Structure 1
């Protein structure tokens, strides 16, 4: 007995429709990724210049503090007195919020750690640095630069 082909015959329109559905699925998946990427990559000039972040007194020496400016989550560190750095507070691994703990920037979701001076990954699953933001300090207040 000869084997029968059980593959259904599809019209050209059906094939194109399935391709469009597949492409839409890929687009939705990539959009989800791109939202995480754009949120995590929101540094380096994505905020207008001159926005107030917060007072320097809110950022302890040897530590840091989280802020939110126009919907953008930031972590501002002060590794040594009067030296401030700002980074995206979105982990580059899977988009969790990071914060400054034990003198390092740390993601509590998967234990990734980042350098508080340059945002480079130090340990854990993250392998990309936190995007940085240019900042300036005037009269005890931190602003976007």
Structure 2
């Protein structure tokens, strides 16, 4: 006569819960962008670059005072904000939280992945989960053009 070990309901539930938790962790890890994904979206400056080449990204007339817009400077995608008639600011389009691409949202920029919001006027975080401001690029109004140095 052979005695089969009995499996309790409790041990079955523990095993099922552990397996489900592991599967969820793996699924969420697959959602996070890798470092190579972030690099493909554009370069993010550590500080405002001053020696880059100015690139025309759009006409001043297309960005109203207080407005935001997305633009491309060479191979770098940037977010623009125009605080007044004579100034334009440029920021990276890469969210400082998880590397997703931010988008213009009124006078601010918003990350569609986790809803971080950044002020257009200085790139600081309005609401998280992001903790760090968007890094800036040097930008200027040059005649009728907006230029960004990359």
Which TM-score bucket, shorter chain as reference? Answer: 0.5 to 0.7
Contact kept, 8 Å, 1:63 with 1:101, in 2: the verdict is no
* Correspondence 1:36 to 2:38: yes
CA deviation vs aligned residue, 1:46-72 (integer Å, no higher than 9, x gap): 883221121112212222100112221
CA spacing shift, 1:40–1:129, aligned 2, 3 Å: farther
Question: SS at the partner of 2:132?
Answer: coil
Q: Report deviation, 1:37.
A: 7.0
User: In the alignment, which residue of structure 1 is the partner of 2:97?
Assistant: 93
| Aligned-partner Cα distance in 1 for 2:37–2:132 | 16
User: In the alignment, which residue of structure 2 is the partner of 1:106?
Assistant: 110
2:53 paired residue among 39, 49, 52? 49
| Aligned-partner Cα distance in 2 for 1:36–1:47 | 23
Contact kept, 8 Å, 1:58 with 1:65, in 2: the verdict is no
* Correspondence 1:75 to 2:79: yes
Point out where structure 1 has 5 or more consecutive residues left out of the alignment.
Answer: 1-31
| Aligned-partner Cα distance in 2 for 1:144–1:110 | 27
User: What is the alpha-carbon root mean square deviation over aligned residues?
Assistant: 2.4
Question: SS at the partner of 1:41?
Answer: coil
1:128 paired residue among 116, 123, 132? 132
Point out where structure 2 has 5 or more consecutive residues left out of the alignment.
Answer: 1-33
Contact kept, 8 Å, 1:40 with 1:91, in 2: the verdict is no
Aligned length: 114
CA spacing shift, 1:75–1:108, aligned 2, 3 Å: same
TM-score, structure 2 length as denominator?
A: 0.65
